[in-house]
Amino acid sequence: MIQSLIYLVIIGFILSIIFWLVDYFGLPAPFNKVLKAIIVLVGAIFLINFLLVLAGQPGFIRLK
């Protein structure tokens, strides 16, 4: 269970750094919002996969 918590913290940290980098580069408005939406979508996919594996169901992304 500790390994799972560490995995979630690391994924959250990586996604937050990417989210911050999108703001740091100062992209124009439509590209900024699209990239942020993609980052949130990727984060949601990882979270759904993590919860499926934690519940005993086969996830759609194979992680070891």
Query: Does some domain include residue 62?
Result: no
Q: Is the pLDDT of residue 64 over 60?
A: no
Global pTM reads 0.75
Query: Does some domain include residue 42?
Result: yes
Q: How many domains does the chain have?
A: 1
Query: Does some domain include residue 60?
Result: no
Asked whether 43 and 61 are in contact (CB, 8 A), the reply is no
Q: Is the dihedral of CA 61, 21, 34, 51 positive or negative?
A: positive
Output the pLDDT for position 24. Answer: 92
Output the pLDDT for position 53. Answer: 82
Query: Does some domain include residue 36?
Result: yes
Other C-beta atoms lying within 10 Å of the C-beta of residue 29: 7
pLDDT digits (tens, 9 = 90+) for 4-62: 889 889 989 999 999 899 989 888 889 999 999 999 999 998 888 888 888 887 777 66
Output the pLDDT for position 62. Answer: 65
Q: Give the structural domain span for 45.
A: 2-54
